[in-house]
Every structure is written in structure tokens, then in C-alpha cells.
Amino acid sequence: MKKLKLLDLFCKAGGAGEGYARAGFEVTGIDIENQNNNPHEFIQSDALEYLKQNGHLFDVIHASPPCQGYSKLKAMHPGKIYPMLIEPTRVILKKLGKQYIIENVEGSPLHKYSDLFGNHGVVLCGSMFGLGVDRGYLRRHRIFETSFPVIQPKCIHQGPAVGVYGHGGHSKKHRMLYRDEAAIAMDIGWMSRDEMCQAIPPAYTEYIGDTLKKLF
């Protein structure tokens, strides 16, 4: 059976794409910066321009627009201008009429739940998939707005939380994971520590991908 083709926009080092690949999709990643560590087919291009010109060639489109403008980082640097690309991305995706997923951080203007207006979304956390290391569980909540309904799992916040953030330098913060621990906790051992800070654990998109396959 021919694999469904999935376009991974703003793909970075391929954490989201890897989850879809594990679910059985043929993944093509797009990013404006070269991504030498991305394990999937990769094209260096402006994501939205590529989407406009080639989105019709794919069965499913995933987009992870830059999150800095929607995160706590914006409050820490009030004078800095960050790209705000969720709405432009959504407009193009809806016009294309393909099945789509848009991912971003908590605080972003994405739909978290299904509602009476036909919007769909889900919030995923590492605790739902048993992610973490011996000294703590990975939480890393992310919102996924979708064009189709996805069952919302329950968070299981047991024990101390750990995270992958910052640059992983010498810190006394118990919850900060360094490179080797982060690779285990997120199941993305091919990335650098800085790439992991921007990545989605593949378990998240594998879960969504398993739901997606039932639509075709």
C-alpha cells in the first residue's frame, strides 16, 4: 500500500516528522534554514511560500510555526520582534482543504479542544507517553490544532518534572536535562541539545498520525 505523503513545515531537526514516519507516513520537511540532522527528505525553502506552491501535492500538512512570539520568552524580551505566523499558516491551510495539524506552545492562539463550531485540537504531554528519565517525567505540553477530532489523553503528573530548555549549560536546576538525558527523555537521540529545545517528542505526532491514518 502506498504511503500517505505528509508535509512537515518549519520542520527543524525533524522531531515531529519522525513521529509521523513511525506512524507510516512519507515525510518531507521544509525549513528556511538548512537542517543537516533532519533524518527525512528535506527541502530548504520558505515554509509558507512552499506551502502555497506545493501543498496540493501532499495528503496531510503539519506546521510548527516559530513559537517565540507566543511563549514566555516574549515577556522576557519585550523589545524584540518575533514572527507571528500561526494565523497566516492557518489561512493557507484552510484554503487548501487538506487535513492539517498546527502545533505550538501553551499560550499560542490555537484551538485546544473540539467545539460546536467545527474547531478541533488536543494538548499533549510527555506524561501521556511515559517519557522521561529516572529522575523525573517529561511534561512539555504542546497544543495541536487539527482539522479532525483527536481523543484527548489525560496527563499523569506523578513524581518530579524534568525539562529540555535553555542551552543545557552548567546549571544547578534539578529539572534541567542535559544532552544525553534529553535524548532519552524525548526519544530523539540524533539531535544536538539546542535542537532538542525546539523539538516535539516523536511520540506526540505518532499518536496523532495513528488517528490520521483512519481518515484515509
Q: Which domains does the chain have, with CATH numbers?
A: 5-125+140-148+198-213 (3.40.50.150)
**Digitized pLDDT (tens) for each residue of the chain, 216 residues in all:** 689 999 999 999 999 999 999 999 999 999 999 999 999 999 999 999 999 999 999 999 999 999 876 666 555 656 777 778 999 999 999 999 999 999 999 999 999 999 999 999 999 999 999 999 998 999 999 999 999 999 999 998 888 899 888 755 545 566 788 889 999 999 999 999 999 999 999 999 999 999 999 999
Q: Which of 28, 62, 55, 64 is nearest to 44 (CA)?
A: 28
Task: Please give the DSSP secondary-structure letter assigned to residue 109.
Answer: S
- Cβ atoms within 10 A of the Cβ of 202, count? 23
Partnered with residue 105 across adjacent β-strands are: 142
DSSP string, 189-214: TTS-HHHHHTPPPHHHHHHHHHHHHT
Q: How far apart are CA 211 and CA 36, in angstroms?
A: 30
Q: Enter the pTM of the model.
A: 0.93
* Phi, psi angle pair for 40, to nearest 5°: -110, 175
For 181, half-sphere exposure in the C-beta direction (CA atoms, 13 angstrom radius) is 17
Cell numbers linked to 63: 506546521
| Distance (Å, whole) CA 40 – CA 45 | 15
